[in-house]
Structure 1
Amino acid sequence: MKTLKFLSVFLLAVFLASCSSVRVNADYDKKTNFINYKTYAYLKSGIDKVEISDLDKKRILYSIDEVMATKGFTKSESPDVLISIFTKERERVDIYNNAGFGWGWGWGWNPWWGMGYSSVVTTPEGTLFIDIIDAKTKELVWQGEGSGYLTTNTDKKDARIKEFVSKILEQYPPK
């Protein structure tokens, strides 16, 4: 029985560790010359529509500011690009099934039978989209997307949001 409990805890730990990374993807307009972009601002109408708490919005925007600064971009009142974000959230449900019946003869011809078990693990999973829009043409030129598990722990939330933003913007500007 102790082995079964240990195995369950071990599998849950492996599962959670495998979920810790952010899966990213990016797409862009191949005809865009990204070298011309040096300044940015936020598209207020896009940011206002995001259905998350204002604190989480600030966390995301602060993280974007940090990453963009390390890439040599500066905020401007007359920007080259506008940045917008949007989010999706869903509950990821994983069902682990070890159900079954069995019976047989044990030592001394004692009959036995047993049942398997099932466990359900739910994890909140979120997707953050970062859109980069040409300020002159108002056309989307780059979109990055990051998906991964979310946390409600305030201490870990800052780090998790920074991880999302950093991984997404690793792909900007495209090579």
Structure 2
Amino acid sequence: MKYSKLIIVVFALVLSSCNAIKVTTDYDTQADFSNLKTFAFYKPGIDKADISDLDKKRVLRAIERELLAQGFTKSENPAMLVSFFTKSRERVNVNQNYNAGYGWRFGWNPWMMNGMNNNVNVSQFTEGTLFIDFIDKEKKELVWQGVGTGALKMDNREKKEERINLFVKEIISRFPPESNTRK
């Protein structure tokens, strides 16, 4: 009974690590984020993103939703321009499990070994990276960049949209930088 609970916990951790998104941010420490209360999308930058037009719409809707939820306003005359681009690459995981075959016995006896096992598990997945850039429109300078990296799940449209929303939410939650918050 005790081991079955442990197995369930370990399995849950493994599944949650597959959904993990690693987020990093960088920003201009001299930028005044308190003035960046309005936004619009920077179309020339977004057009360069190497994803389908439908996925671009999904990303744009997710970014807009998250920024509006944080109190920003979409505007025709914005203080901040928002752009994004993407990268993807195929990754291979190789897990090698070596078992000398000693079993769960007390003591050691060279004649009682269970044999040697060498299990190799190979898995392949697509790792995607979403870059979200915030540009000070007046200065025409990049002031903040959020980067989210994680496994992509493209089984169906709903899962794809769910994954895009999660990427965007995790990235946008780090804006503005805490040391330079809006007033």
- Give the 3 Å change call, closer, same or farther, for CA 12–123 of structure 1 in structure 2: farther
Q: Paired residue for 2:165?
A: 162
1:80 aligned to 2:83? Answer: no
Q: Paired residue for 1:171?
A: 174
- Count, aligned residues: 164
Shift of 1:14: 4.7
Letter of the structure 2 residue corresponding to residue 38 of structure 1: K
Letter of the structure 2 residue corresponding to residue 164 of structure 1: F
Distance 1:14 1:87 in 2: 28
- Give the 3 Å change call, closer, same or farther, for CA 136–148 of structure 1 in structure 2: same
Distance 1:53 1:17 in 2: 28
Q: Paired residue for 2:23?
A: 24
Letter of the structure 2 residue corresponding to residue 149 of structure 1: A
Note the alpha carbon deviations across 1:37-88, whole angstroms, 9 max, x for none.
Answer: 1111111110000001111111110000101101111211111011110111
Distance 2:85 2:19 in 1: 21
Distance 2:90 2:169 in 1: 23
Letter of the structure 2 residue corresponding to residue 56 of structure 1: D
Distance 1:26 1:161 in 2: 18
- 1:16-165 equivalence runs, <5 A: 16-98=15-97, 115-153=117-155, 154-165=157-168
Distance 1:127 1:50 in 2: 11
Q: Which 4+ residue blocks in structure 1 deviate beyond 4 angstroms?
A: 10-14, 99-102, 112-115
Unaligned runs of 5+ in 1: 1-6, 107-111
- Give the 3 Å change call, closer, same or farther, for CA 80–132 of structure 1 in structure 2: same
Shift of 1:99: 5.6
Distance 2:90 2:15 in 1: 14
Shift of 1:145: 0.7
Structure with higher strand content: 1
Note the alpha carbon deviations across 1:65-114, whole angstroms, 9 max, x for none.
Answer: 10110111121111101111011111221101136898x856xxxxx865
Unaligned runs of 5+ in 2: 1-6, 102-109, 179-183
Q: CA RMSD in A?
A: 2.5
Distance 1:126 1:137 in 2: 31
Note the alpha carbon deviations across 1:115-170, whole angstroms, 9 max, x for none.
Answer: 52211011211111100001111100000011111111222111111111111011
Distance 2:85 2:149 in 1: 12
Normalising by structure 1, we get a TM-score of 0.82
Letter of the structure 1 residue corresponding to residue 70 of structure 2: K
Distance 1:98 1:18 in 2: 19
